[in-house]
Structure 1
Amino acid sequence: MQTTFRSVFISDVHLGTKACQATHLLDFLQNIQTDTLYLVGDIIDLQEMRHKAYFVESHNKIVEQILAMAKSGTKVIYIPGNHDAFFRKFAGQTLSGVDIRLNARHQTANGRTFYVSHGDEFDQMVKISPLMLAIGDRAHGLMLSLNQWINGVRRFIGLPYWSLAGYLKSHISKAKEFIERFETAALKSAKNQQVDGYICGHIHFASFRMKDETLYCNDGDWVEHCTALTESKAGELSLLHWSEQPKIIATEPAPESWGFQPVPNRG
Structure 2
Amino acid sequence: MSVEPRQVRSIFLSDIHLGTRGCQADRLLDFLRHHEAEHLFLIGDIVDFWAMSRGIHWTTTQNTVVQKVLRAARKGTRVVFVPGNHDEALREYVGITFGDIQLEHDWVHQAADGRRYLLLHGDEYDQVTRYHRWVAVIGDVAYNALVRINGWLSWMRRRLGISGYWSLAGYAKRKVKTAVNFIFDFEDSVIHGARERGVDGVICGHIHWAALREVDGLTYVNCGDWVDSCTAILEHLDGRLELVEWRGRQTAPAPLPVETAAGSEDEALAAADPVLAAQGFFRRSKIGSSGR
TM bucket (normalised to shorter chain) is: 0.7 to 0.9
Q: Aligned AA for 1:152? A: W
Instruction: Provide the residue aligned with 2:227 in structure 1.
Output: 223
Unaligned segments of structure 1, at least 5 residues: 253-267
CA distance in 1 between counterparts of 2:65 and 2:88 reads: 19
CA distance in 2 between counterparts of 1:144 and 1:135 reads: 14
CA contact (8 A) 2:12 2:233 kept: yes
User: What per-residue deviation string (whole Å, max 9, x for no partner) do you get for residues 75-126 of structure 1?
Assistant: 1110010000111112111111111111000111111111100000001389
Map of 1:23-172 to 2, 5 A cutoff?
Answer: 23-124=26-127, 136-155=139-158, 157=161, 159-172=163-176
Residue 17, structure 1, aligned to residue 20, structure 2:
yes
1:222 Cα deviation from its structure 2 partner: 0.3
Q: Which of residues 162, 176, 179 in structure 1 aligns to 2:183? A: 179
Distance 1:4 1:161, change over 3 A: farther
Q: Aligned AA for 1:250? A: P
* 3-state SS of paired residue (2:47): coil
Residue 190, structure 1, aligned to residue 197, structure 2:
no
CA distance in 2 between counterparts of 1:167 and 1:4 reads: 33
Distance 1:61 1:20, change over 3 A: same
Distance 1:71 1:123, change over 3 A: same
1:135 Cα deviation from its structure 2 partner: 8.2
CA distance in 1 between counterparts of 2:257 and 2:110 reads: 20
CA distance in 1 between counterparts of 2:205 and 2:181 reads: 17
**Relative contact order: is structure 1 or structure 2 higher (C-alpha 8 Å, sep ≥ 6)?**
2
1:167 Cα deviation from its structure 2 partner: 2.2
Residue 248, structure 1, aligned to residue 291, structure 2:
no
TM-score (norm 1): 0.86
Instruction: Provide the residue aligned with 1:263 in structure 2.
Output: none
CA distance in 2 between counterparts of 1:61 and 1:126 reads: 30
How well do the aligned residues superpose, as a CA RMSD in angstroms?
Answer: 2.6
Identical amino acids, percent of aligned pairs: 40
CA distance in 1 between counterparts of 2:140 and 2:100 reads: 34
CA contact (8 A) 2:48 2:86 kept: yes
TM-score (norm 2): 0.79
1:138 Cα deviation from its structure 2 partner: 3.8
CA contact (8 A) 1:160 1:243 kept: no
Distance 1:152 1:106, change over 3 A: same
Instruction: Provide the residue aligned with 1:199 in structure 2.
Output: 203
Q: Aligned AA for 2:256? A: I
CA distance in 1 between counterparts of 2:129 and 2:56 reads: 30
User: What per-residue deviation string (whole Å, max 9, x for no partner) do you get for residues 45-96 of structure 1?
Assistant: 0111011100111110110111111111111110010000111112111111
CA distance in 2 between counterparts of 1:24 and 1:235 reads: 25
Distance 1:199 1:148, change over 3 A: same
CA distance in 1 between counterparts of 2:140 and 2:99 reads: 34
CA distance in 2 between counterparts of 1:201 and 1:159 reads: 28
